[in-house]
Structure 1
Amino acid sequence: MPDPAALRIAHFSDTFLPRRDGVITSIRTLAGALGSRGHESVLFAPGYPDATPVGFPVVGLSSVPCGVADLRLATWPRSRSVERVADAAPDLVHVHTPGPAGLLGVLAAQRLGLPLVQTYHTDLHAYLEAYRIPTTALRVLLTAYRRRLGVDASPAPRRGLRVVRGAAGAWRPERRSAARGGLLDAANAAFFAGTDVVVVPTGAVLRRSALPVDPARIVSVPTGVAPRAVAADAGRGFRDRYGIPADAPLVLFVGRVNREKNVEALLAAVAEVAVALPTVRVALVGAVYEQRWLAGLLRTHGVGDRVVITGQLPAAAVAEAYAAADVFAFPSLTDTQGLVLQEAALAGVPVVMADSVLHAHGPLAGAAVCASGDGFAAAITAVLSDGELATRTAVACRTAALRHTPEAYGSAIEAVYRRALAERRAPLPLRATA
């Protein structure tokens, strides 16, 4: 006899395998943790020709390549798309991204009268700045979203001066971001309007972005990460495979090798580290979508002969990279959690990071070494040169990371779902749309 307390959750994401990123990892971890607690998950995501089985149902939505980072976007949601969601008979909707697939989740929750939970995984303001998304495109999208959601479709007011994060991690005024920031704030207001509970992965999110949501409806739940066992010689195998000398200090970065991850700051730092440690090597593990941009950075900083670029690797090979590393360097200033920070910490690798906000309010809770700008290289050099500092940092980081398990993640999100079910608000009035 089915458990009456068991839930069926419809998840919605605009990114999924074969791509790899933190949102995908979070969804897979959550579905597994919920499954162990007796709940069912079904994911609605853009369909890929080479879709990968994941152990729970995935509904591939009609999609088209968008020409950026091998990403496919679901086509614009229609009423028949909502009918597909209804066929899955969910008890609750959980939206993980704000693209067309996420929009379908919001529409489905409204039309089917279901509780709606959203996770704000991505610092969208930072991404808009990193890629300088044209304001004209944002205005068109905002109008389309508002009309589809049945809310006020009048143009968003233009904003004046806005404060955004600068390239070196400081906060600075930037007039060019004013319109983009205002449009994104308006889009978020429309997108979150009918949401019962908003989940943020860390407190860092709320210190960067003022979400247009009643604070009483916001909860912080970090994604849990489990330690991964590797063979005793895994690190040596990784070094041998990529021609990294056994005695060379190895700096590791894992993640998309893209501009929003502040990779240039890492390569600039490596050039400085090499002055004190001439044999230092760097491994960049992750997908590279802008080959020319990266090649230009390697030339500019003169570090091409000491940088290994592996591309995207399967999880087992990434675990070998952690086993080979002497320090994990994380220059990103845009991450809301950075699951790779926890992965590195659980592997026993000391972490050096550049983002002081995420350092203080992220999953490692101040355990890593933190320095940005000119101090980033010095911090990496210090950890590589001081065995006692490296050991102390590694132990502190691992202790912090062990607090955030997949089991704890599943339990916390289950509590969020129960709250959303108990406090479900009345659906928003909707227009009749095709």
Structure 2
Amino acid sequence: MTAPTLTTRPAAQPGAQAPTRTLRVVHFSDTYLPRRDGVIASLHTLTDALAAVGHDCLTVAPHHRQQPDLPDLLALRALSCGLADLRLLPWPTNAHVEQIAAWRPDLIHVHTPGPVGLLGTFAAQRLGLPVVHTYHTDLHAYAEAYRVPTSAVRLLAKLYARRLGVTAGHCTERGRHGAVDAVNRLLLHDADAVIVPTPAVLSRAALPVPQERVFLVPAAVPPPRGAVRPAEFRDRHGIARPDRMVLFVGRVNREKGVDLLLPAFARILAAEPRARLVLVGAVYERRWLRRLIRRAGVADRVVITGQLAGDQVADAYASADVLAFPSRTDTQGLVLQEAALAGVPSVLADPVLHRTGALGDTTVLADASPAGFAAAVIRLLGDPEAARRQGAAARALALRHTPERYGAAMLDVYRHALAQRRQSGQ
């Protein structure tokens, strides 16, 4: 299999010298449980891996009444923003910084660009701490998908500049992309390290940091805990044993390529009448989804489960014949690794992610059209032995990319950030 091409400076591989003392790292994320997404998954995997080798982590996130009560979580009062179940911190304050300072952190790690991410950047600035950012999300694509007004993004950049004590000259870019670039520059410009999960990020955004401060660290996925129950999953959702199951896992939203998947599934169904499409994930635009399903004419062969707990998602993978991944906005696609660990082959529509992702060409690249995407899925459904080989090859790669490897690589980045701060005398 061809290895992904790396265009950034990668972090050291496991086995490199890790920090010899316990590190205290505060992680900042605008998205957290009970919501489920790739940022949350990679954050949990990372903090578990760090804790397993003796480091302390605190996660700062918006409060939600359905959140679990965790000792390593600082949940801050937040308001619903009315979009995709996100909750927003009203505004980062000095009182927030004092709460973080009381925990005596060594380093700050920012995972998202919202108000909680701004708080992380602001706290690092006020406390004189090294700050590491992970650029998880293709902000330009999301701003386009949700048609976020340029004026709103520009206002956000101006507010961020004011909080960070930066002149408004940073916020003069034209257009929606220019306004997003201004936000990126405000958050990332002074970062000691910026992590990208795949080189695909750099093909979509010009990050405002020198290349020597950009590190490639793909997130890992832990294998499922406990036994999987594919028969129970199929019975629960009315999927017959002979049905060929095409699985989608993720937010069932416009930025995830669902508008490509549904017309493609109509073509799949014409070739494979026993096919079923199972959509696993939160649905935030129900009328939009119903309209797409109605236009495709596939309502009686589509199962919508909504957001599921982790063990039920593992059951879904174990039940599937193919994972359909039509998104062209993802920077990594952790569901690809999850499917691979279950031995399920995946079909992608994003050539950059296919070329640079952690699984290389063990995934199948399809043309980003209904006919092209359908043809790739039909080939796998029509040749179960080839699908099994494809899934086994992907599983072999996924098993090598462990949470321990992910944690070791991230510790190398932290060590770099701490050393840079010491050398600069800050």
TM-score range (shorter-chain normalised) is over 0.9
C-alpha separation in 1, matches of 2:128 and 2:153: 29
Which of the numbers 336, 345, 349 marks the counterpart of 2:340? 345
Cα offsets for 1:241-282 (capped at 9, x unmatched): 111110011100010101000111111110001111111101
C-alpha separation in 2, matches of 1:30 and 1:356: 27
User: Superposition pairs for residues 1-400 of structure 1, below 5 Å?
Assistant: 5-54=21-70, 56-154=71-169, 156-159=171-174, 179-229=175-225, 231=227, 234-371=229-366, 372-373=368-369, 374-400=371-397
User: For the structure 1 residues 142 and 249, does the alpha-carbon distance in structure 2 shift closer, same or farther, using more than 3 Å as the test?
Assistant: same
C-alpha separation in 1, matches of 2:280 and 2:388: 23
Structure 2: which 5+ runs fail to align?
Answer: 1-18
> How far did residue 69 of structure 1 move?
1.3
Cα offsets for 1:339-395 (capped at 9, x unmatched): 111000000101111111111101111211111213100000000001232022111
Q: Residue 171 of structure 2 aligns to a residue in which SS?
A: coil
CA contact (8 A) 2:173 2:182 kept: no
C-alpha separation in 1, matches of 2:331 and 2:20: 35
What is aligned with 1:169? none
Query: Please, what TM-score do these two structures have when normalized by structure 2?
Result: 0.92
> How far did residue 17 of structure 1 move?
0.4
Q: Residue 400 of structure 2 aligns to a residue in which SS?
A: coil
Q: Residue 423 of structure 1 aligns to a residue in which SS?
A: helix
> How far did residue 158 of structure 1 move?
4.2
Q: Residue 374 of structure 2 aligns to a residue in which SS?
A: helix
Structure 1: which 5+ runs fail to align?
Answer: 160-178, 429-434
CA contact (8 A) 1:250 1:280 kept: yes
C-alpha separation in 2, matches of 1:53 and 1:70: 19
CA contact (8 A) 2:161 2:170 kept: no
Cα offsets for 1:167-199 (capped at 9, x unmatched): xxxxxxxxxxxx000111111111112100001
CA RMSD, 1 decimal: 1.5
C-alpha separation in 2, matches of 1:367 and 1:213: 32
Cα offsets for 1:134-175 (capped at 9, x unmatched): 01111111111111111121373444xxxxxxxxxxxxxxxx
C-alpha separation in 2, matches of 1:29 and 1:193: 27
> How far did residue 285 of structure 1 move?
0.4
Q: Residue 416 of structure 2 aligns to a residue in which SS?
A: helix
CA contact (8 A) 1:12 1:97 kept: yes
C-alpha separation in 2, matches of 1:426 and 1:136: 38
CA contact (8 A) 2:317 2:344 kept: yes
CA contact (8 A) 1:109 1:116 kept: yes
User: For the structure 1 residues 329 and 82, does the alpha-carbon distance in structure 2 shift closer, same or farther, using more than 3 Å as the test?
Assistant: same
> How far did residue 215 of structure 1 move?
0.8
Which of the numbers 401, 406, 411 marks the counterpart of 1:404? 401
CA contact (8 A) 1:284 1:311 kept: yes
Paired residue type of 2:136: H
Cα offsets for 1:309-347 (capped at 9, x unmatched): 000000010111011100011001011111111000000
What is aligned with 1:415? 412
Paired residue type of 1:273: I
Q: Residue 33 of structure 2 aligns to a residue in which SS?
A: coil
Residue identity over aligned pairs, in percent, reads: 56
Cα offsets for 1:209-261 (capped at 9, x unmatched): 111111110001011112215546x1111111111110011100010101000
* Larger displacement relative to structure 2 (363-372 or 120-129): 363-372
Paired residue type of 2:32: F
Indicate the structure whose relative CO is greater, using CA pairs within 8 Å and at least 6 residues apart.
Answer: 2
Paired residue type of 1:24: I
C-alpha separation in 2, matches of 1:361 and 1:120: 16
C-alpha separation in 1, matches of 2:425 and 2:381: 56
C-alpha separation in 1, matches of 2:252 and 2:202: 26
User: For the structure 1 residues 427 and 100, does the alpha-carbon distance in structure 2 shift closer, same or farther, using more than 3 Å as the test?
Assistant: farther
* Larger displacement relative to structure 2 (40-49 or 202-211): 202-211
* Larger displacement relative to structure 2 (184-193 or 247-256): 184-193
